[in-house]
Chains A and B, each alone.
Chain A
Amino acid sequence: MDISFMIEIVPRLLRATWVTLQVSAISLMIGLVFGIVLGVLRVYGNRFIVWCTKGFVIVARGTPAAIQIYAAFFLLPRLGIRLPLFAVGVVALTFNTSGYQVEIVRAALESIDKGQIEAGLAIGLTRWKTMLYITLPQAVKRMMGPMTNEFANLIKASSALMLISLYELTKSGHAIIAATFKYAEVLVLVALFYFVLVQSLCKLSAYLENNVFNFGKTADPRNEFLN
């Protein structure tokens, strides 16, 4: 192992890690909007809307991230939308994460005791207002743990953006390998960076679930064996 080489490339990999974090965080946030809207529709919508959201979830969760990324890369220009690579990455990851977030929101909403809804209706709130003022605020707390987990998943998924040459952590590592052939040094660092990021998020997620919002569990729809 060439330690001095490893130290030399750390700043470059750190900059790439920043790209990884940005692309994942932005996708997570935009995905959250889709997740909540579609999740609410998935639970409260009419049959047609429920059917549509279900279809979306099946496609978003049923295709590999690699295919979603290629699709964004090739199809957006075809539709006349020319975006910088970073934004293409955000679009692909947002599509990916929205599918999972819909299920997180749905599970959280459905975990709220039916009595809460009945109590809301009983004091004369409409169905939508009950959802907005009673169910959703309670569900949001239960979503915090799974959402943190989802952030960790997105960071892992973002590595697939190397397929379209977005210089996030994996692609940067790959490029350094291609130039120097010092793959052991590079891959150890890349793996370490991801490991630290993901582990901290997982610990945070477990902490949020066990300590901060500890009033009833929400099942993580992706079950505990996260991808």
Chain B
Amino acid sequence: MGLNLEFMLSIIPELLSAMVITLQISILAVLLGIMGGLVVGSFRVIGPKWLKMLIQLLVDYIRGTPQIVHILIIYFALPRIGIILNAYWTGVVALTIIATGYEVEIVRTAIESIDKGQIEAGLAIGLLKRQILIFVLLPQAIRRIIPPLTNELTNIVKASAFLSVIAVNELTKISNKIIYETFYFFEVLILTALIYTVIITLLGMLSNFIEKRMFSTNSEANS
């Protein structure tokens, strides 16, 4: 069962442009997710008890339910509440919600990993809780957020494959389409798997690199 190399070469442009869609959606979702993650994660740390519990419940729900189920829920629920989006933006919304769920935990872990003495020093000079969060904790937490955030991007890239279910023209959907048109599934799947592996491995290396750079030098932050 030899591979049809000529065919493989011919579909590379189409797969690569689908890959760009995959990356676009994933990066958008992670960036939008970090805004949600910073705000919600902050409330998770300093909010009143009922709010903390509510946020934790939502986070557990998002992390504890399959991504496909979230995607289906968003797909069906958005039009119902009057928000009509095309497949691409529905996908962005769904992945953003998934990403936010994980990023709240990233932000919380980062804030909670900061030495308690920093909070006490802030209290001792008369700063309010909210000021301590903004001026002392978050600036220090940001650096600890970046490596796991890169890691989260790999998770979201993998999750974006499920957007094929709601007909977003990302890599998995396009590769499936080519398979059904041509039945060269071996060739298509090898290329698709290869593209995903390369993206995810590169992102993993980036994450490791950032982590080493940021933590080994104990770097010089700007105020």
Contact = CB atoms under 8 A, between A and B. Distances in A.
A75 to B, nearest CB: 7
Interface string A82-98: 00000000000000000
A227 B68 contact: no
Interface of A: 58-59, 61-67, 70-71, 74-75, 78, 152, 155-160, 162-163, 170, 173-174, 177, 183-184, 187, 190-191, 194-195, 198-199, 202, 223-227
B186 A78 contact: yes
Given A59-B193, A160-B68, 11 more contacts: A59-B197, A67-B161, A67-B175, A71-B193, A78-B186, A159-B66, A160-B162, A173-B69, A194-B66, A225-B148, A227-B158
Contacts of A156: 64-67
B200 A61 contact: yes
B148 A174 contact: no
26 contacts: A59-B193, A61-B200, A62-B200, A62-B201, A63-B193, A64-B161, A66-B162, A66-B164, A70-B175, A70-B176, A74-B185, A74-B189, A75-B186, A162-B68, A163-B165, A170-B66, A170-B68, A183-B72, A184-B77, A191-B61, A191-B65, A195-B65, A223-B151, A224-B105, A225-B106, A225-B151
Contacts of A227: 155, 158-159
Q: Taking chain B's interface residues, is the majority helix, strand, or loop, or is none over half, making it mixed?
A: helix
Contacts of B63: 198, 226
Contact of A65 (B109, B161, B201): B161
A75 B185 contact: yes
A62 B194 CA distance: 9
Given A58-B201, A187-B73, A223-B151, A67 B192 contact: yes
Nearest to B101: A225
A223 B148 contact: yes
B196 A67 contact: yes
A157 B66 contact: yes
B172 interface: yes
Contacts of B109: 224
A184 B79 CA distance: 12
A58 B197 contact: yes
B135 interface: no
